[in-house]
């Protein structure tokens, strides 16, 4: 409050001093640029990539997805519009998707081979390169909030399993019963994939057409990236991982550099795809590095990584990202990606399929 009072006073002082001055073109230009920077904000989100085809989707389900994507992005957008932080915006936006059973994160997470739900999440603050991540938590309603708490209230970046839950308990997080995460459709997906494995069919051929939600067992994640009015970038990712995953598998979502990366010097990125390939290609950091060291635009860097490098390894998926100038991309090499973006002008894009 004291700071604001001082700033207001200083601001008024300069205003008073300049009252009678003629407008100076150079000053005007500087002021204009500053205003443009301040007004340049935006948020972009994804709800998973995969074999999402129009012919497999009912109109009502499509409408339900679009509705939640809109609620989610507008939640973060309002925070940004009111001068809130990109970190707060991506967290609240991701919370909406975590709380929806439609997405593979929080409620609605896919099932592991053991029939449990193991959740991963990560977050990065582009202003100071601070980061937090959790993997394999089973009782946390909003894993992205726990990742943020790891970042802000622990000396660590990444905690896992029961240890991460012990930390959550110490920080006052509420524990959810495993039934909270149960959704019938996800449980049926697990059964189908297990049956498909038994009958030696390839998972893709079988599961792609039977699961009414995201069509691939290896996909589905939610994420958001935002630029706020203060010029700060942030990104976050939250997931239930891969259906039928075994051996406490950790995918790219909780890995800083692979699933999430943010740096005010370049961009903020959240990934969704076949996690193993995204880890090996260090996808999120690679996009940032191509911009910073090779002078690529965000779009060029995203195309290079998602359309060339990841497919060259044999992987697929997508990313959403926003750069320090407010430019946004939603790049994927799968049939579809649940996605939305909203820029400073309030222009809203919501899309699911390729075109």
Active site residues: 221
Contact between 265 and its own copies per CB under 8 A: no
CB contact at 8 A, 42 and 344:
yes
| 173 bridge partner residues | none
Which residue in 2, 3, 20, 246 binds its own copies (CB under 8 A)?
A: 246
Is there binding between residue 249 and its own copies (CB under 8 A)?
A: yes
Minimum CB separation from its own copies for residue 161, in Å? Answer: 5
Q: Of 148 and 282, which CB lies nearer to its own copies in the complex structure?
A: 282
Strand order across the beta sheet in which 328-332 lies: 260-262, 267-273, 317-323, 328-332
Backbone angles phi and psi of 340, in degrees to 5: -160, 150
x/- binding map, residues 288-307, to its own copies, per CB under 8 A? -xx--xx-------------
How many CB atoms are closer than 10 A to CB 61?
Answer: 13
Q: Please say which residue, 189 or 263, places its beta carbon nearer to its own copies.
A: 263
Nearer to its own copies, 10 or 313 (CB): 313
Distances (CA, A) of 274 to 10, 177, 193, 295: 53, 28, 16, 27
| Comparison of 40 and 286: residue with beta carbon closer to its own copies | 286
Which region among 96-104, 177-185, 275-283, 323-331 touches its own copies (by CB under 8 A)? Answer: 275-283
Residue that is written with structure tokens 């008024």 in the block? 12
- List the structure tokens of 50: 């995969």
CA dist list (Å): 66 to 9, 61, 70, 338, 340: 46, 9, 6, 8, 9
Which token pair is 80? 């940004």
Contact between 285 and its own copies by CB under 8 A: the answer reads yes
Q: Which stretch binds its own copies (CB under 8 A): 122-130, 177-185, 186-194, 229-237?
A: 122-130
- Residue count, binding to its own copies (CB under 8 A): 44
Each residue 309-328 as x (binds its own copies by CB under 8 A) or -, in order, gives ----x---------------
Does 236 bind its own copies (CB under 8 A)? Our answer is no
Place of tokens 């399929």: 353
Tokens of 145: 């909030």
**Could you list the residues that contact its own copies (CB under 8 A)?**
124, 129-131, 135-136, 154-164, 166-167, 245-251, 255-258, 261, 275-276, 279-282, 285-286, 289-290, 293-294, 313
């Amino acid at each position: 409050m004291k700071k604001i009072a001082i700033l207001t006073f200083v601001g008024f002082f300069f205003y008073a001093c300049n009252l009678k001055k003629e407008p100076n073109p150079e000053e005007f230009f500087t002021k204009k640029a500053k205003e443009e920077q301040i007004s340049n904000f935006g948020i972009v989100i994804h709800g998973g990539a995969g074999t999402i085809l129009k012919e497999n989707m009912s109109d009502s389900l499509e409408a339900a997805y679009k509705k939640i994507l809109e609620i989610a992005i507008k939640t973060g957008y309002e925070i940004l519009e009111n001068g809130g932080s990109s970190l707060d915006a991506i967290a609240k936006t991701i919370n909406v998707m975590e709380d929806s059973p439609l997405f593979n994160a929080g409620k609605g997470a896919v099932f592991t081979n053991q029939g449990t739900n193991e959740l991963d999440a990560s977050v990065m603050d582009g202003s100071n390169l601070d980061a937090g991540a959790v993997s394999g938590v089973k009782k946390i309603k909003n894993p992205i909030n726990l990742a943020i708490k790891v970042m802000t209230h622990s000396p660590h970046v990444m905690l896992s399993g029961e240890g991460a839950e012990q930390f959550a308990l110490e920080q006052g997080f509420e524990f959810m019963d495993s039934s909270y995460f149960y959704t019938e459709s996800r449980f049926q997906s697990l059964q189908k994939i297990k049956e498909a494995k038994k009958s030696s069919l390839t998972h893709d051929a079988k599961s792609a057409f039977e699961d009414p939600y995201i069509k691939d067992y290896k996909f589905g994640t939610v994420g958001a990236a935002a630029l706020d009015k203060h010029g700060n970038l942030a990104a976050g990712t939250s997931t239930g991982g891969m259906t039928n995953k075994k051996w406490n598998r950790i995918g790219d979502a909780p890995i800083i550099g692979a699933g999430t990366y943010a740096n005010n010097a370049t961009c903020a990125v959240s990934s969704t795809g076949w996690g193993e390939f995204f880890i090996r290609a260090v996808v999120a950091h690679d996009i940032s590095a191509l911009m910073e060291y090779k002078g690529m635009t965000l779009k060029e860097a995203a195309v290079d990584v998602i359309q060339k490098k990841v497919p060259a390894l044999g992987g697929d998926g997508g990313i959403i990202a926003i750069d320090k100038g407010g430019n946004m991309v939603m790049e994927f090499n799968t049939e579809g990606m649940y996605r939305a973006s909203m820029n400073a002008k309030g222009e809203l894009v919501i899309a699911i399929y390729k075109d």
